[in-house]
């Protein structure tokens, strides 16, 4: 596990995922269509989940689902066909029964900030009922993963 350089995210869990911009993701202006960034965030969450044992199927195996309830994307500069984007997905600790991620999307070739974003997911049980308290498995996951990061 690596530490963030930014003191705001010191000791934060994060993952970086490279994404090659495909032709099907650009619009008539020859830049990445704004809706494609939603998929890039999803790619980042899936990569984070695979790395840290918090993937969708891991959560589902515990009897929960984590639907997205909020997404905020701030576009700074465009990506074009052929660019390689690096999506940094940062876990934001919260005492609430939710999963919060912040994202930085940068162009690999020049490290230019392309977009920043934040998503919030909540927990629902297998009856599709909102969970108001963090599930035990998630509290345990946070205790283990965040403790390991702080110790590094």
Q: Is residue 113 situated within a structural domain?
A: yes
pLDDT tens for 25-83 read 999 999 999 999 999 999 999 999 999 999 999 999 999 999 999 999 999 999 999 99
Q: Is residue 65 situated within a structural domain?
A: yes
Domain that holds residue 126: 7-151
Q: Is residue 26 situated within a structural domain?
A: yes
The end-to-end CA distance of the chain, in Å, is 8
Question: CATH no. for residue 45?
Answer: 3.10.129.10
pLDDT at 150: 57
Q: How confident is the model at residue 5 (pLDDT cuts 50, 70, 90)?
A: very low
Mean pLDDT of the chain: 91
Number of folded domains that form the chain: 1
pLDDT tens for 85-126 read 999 999 999 999 999 999 999 999 999 999 999 999 999 999
Q: Is residue 60 situated within a structural domain?
A: yes
Q: Is residue 129 situated within a structural domain?
A: yes
Q: Which of 131, 104, 108 is nearest to 116 (CA)?
A: 104
pTM of the full structure: 0.89
Q: Is residue 145 situated within a structural domain?
A: yes
CA 91, chain centre distance (Å): 7
Contact 52, 99 (CB under 8 A): no
Q: Which of 92, 94, 105, 133 is nearest to 42 (CA)?
A: 105
Q: Which of 48, 50, 98 is nearest to 70 (CA)?
A: 98
Q: Is residue 77 situated within a structural domain?
A: yes
Q: Is residue 1 situated within a structural domain?
A: no
Please check the confidence at residue 7 and state whether its pLDDT lies above 60. no
């Amino acid at each position: 596990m690596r530490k963030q350089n930014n003191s705001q995210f010191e000791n934060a869990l994060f993952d970086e995922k490279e994404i090659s911009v495909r032709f099907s993701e650009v619009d008539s202006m020859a830049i990445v269509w704004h809706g494609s960034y939603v998929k890039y965030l999803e790619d980042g969450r899936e990569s984070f989940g695979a790395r840290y044992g918090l993937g969708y199927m891991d959560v589902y195996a515990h009897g929960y689902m984590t639907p997205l309830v909020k997404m905020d994307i701030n576009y700074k500069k465009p990506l074009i066909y052929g660019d390689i984007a690096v999506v940094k997905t940062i876990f934001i600790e919260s005492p609430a029964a939710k999963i919060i991620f912040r994202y930085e999307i940068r162009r690999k070739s020049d490290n230019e900030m392309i977009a920043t974003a934040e998503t919030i997911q909540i927990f629902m049980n297998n009856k599709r009922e909102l969970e108001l308290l963090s599930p035990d498995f998630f509290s345990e996951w946070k205790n283990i993963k965040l403790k390991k990061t702080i110790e590094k």
